[in-house]
Chains A and B, each alone.
Chain A
Amino acid sequence: MGAADELEPDQGALRSPTVLVVEDEPLIRMLLADILRDANLAVVEAISGDEAWRYVEAGGETDLILTDIHMRGKIDGRRLANLIRQHFPHIIVIVASGNPGPSLGVEFKHFLHKPYDLYRAVGLVLQLLERDALESPDNPPGSN
């Protein structure tokens, strides 16, 4: 049996939506990830834009990315959001920044101003995932 065969039982199973949290402050990331897990979401934690991109590019499950903007590394949150928009347009992106400048809210559809209320952030995540599920091809508008 090959390695791929051993993974077979998990494939195709019903899964919770996966949220990729990209935050270089570990205590904030841990807290946010915990609250998202408590909301029955699968959570992947990335410490930087570089890591997040490596995960997504390697085919890691991702339905929504919640990313900080200002992070060290080659890929900050803005670049990550633009890469995702370009290469994986089906993934929803929420960007967060404490110093957004005048254009960020215009540049990105979903934006959080830091410091944000963690429960409000989770509420936005759930709202966007629910809307996305309702608009998916399996659930055309008006089918419910």
Chain B
Amino acid sequence: MLLKAPTILLVQTDILIRHPLAEYLRSCGYQVFEAGNADEVKAIALSEQELDVILLDAMNGNGFELAHWLRSQRAFSDVIITGSVKKTVQDAMELCEQGPDPDHTARHKSILAEIQIRLSRRGVKEA
């Protein structure tokens, strides 16, 4: 029997953090949906899409208001509010350990380093 993978909505405003984290969580067996701002979160939350966990960037405080809204819409989803990159990675690691494929914990050590390298490569010139 095929079991449906649990779903995570990953809300993170920075693609250089969001993408590696999303891939990491996918490697742990989750189905991951990505949102980059509050409008996207609302569009996804108002759709029929099933969401088990919402990992929500605090977004300079706006995340708390969004979390409140999400809880009113999605009482059945767990909402985890994250802050710093380290805290976000820590929360992702804990989700991974509880996930369908926790064998991917080998990547735990490198995920924070990978994000830090990506952030350090961030271009300084504006397009």
Contacts and interface: CB of A to CB of B under 8 A. Distances in A.
Interface of A: 3-4, 6-7, 10, 25-27, 30, 44-48, 50-55, 57-60, 74-75, 79, 83
Given A54-B122, A58-B121, A27 B15 contact: no
B35 interface: yes
14 contacts: A4-B117, A6-B113, A26-B34, A26-B43, A26-B44, A45-B22, A47-B15, A50-B127, A51-B15, A54-B15, A54-B16, A55-B15, A57-B122, A57-B123
The interface residues of chain A, by DSSP majority, are classed as helix
Main secondary structure of the interface of B (DSSP, over half): helix
B110 A27 contact: no
Interface residues of B, number: 27
B17 to A, nearest CB: 11
B113 A7 contact: yes
Interface of B: 15-16, 19, 22, 33-37, 40, 43-44, 47, 49, 109-110, 113-114, 116-119, 121-123, 125, 127
10 closest residue pairs by CB, A with B:
A3-B113, A57-B123, A47-B36, A26-B40, A58-B121, A51-B15, A6-B110, A6-B113, A59-B121, A55-B15
Contacts of B118: 58-60
Contacts of B116: 3
Nearest to A10: B110
B36 A30 contact: no
Nearest to A53: B127
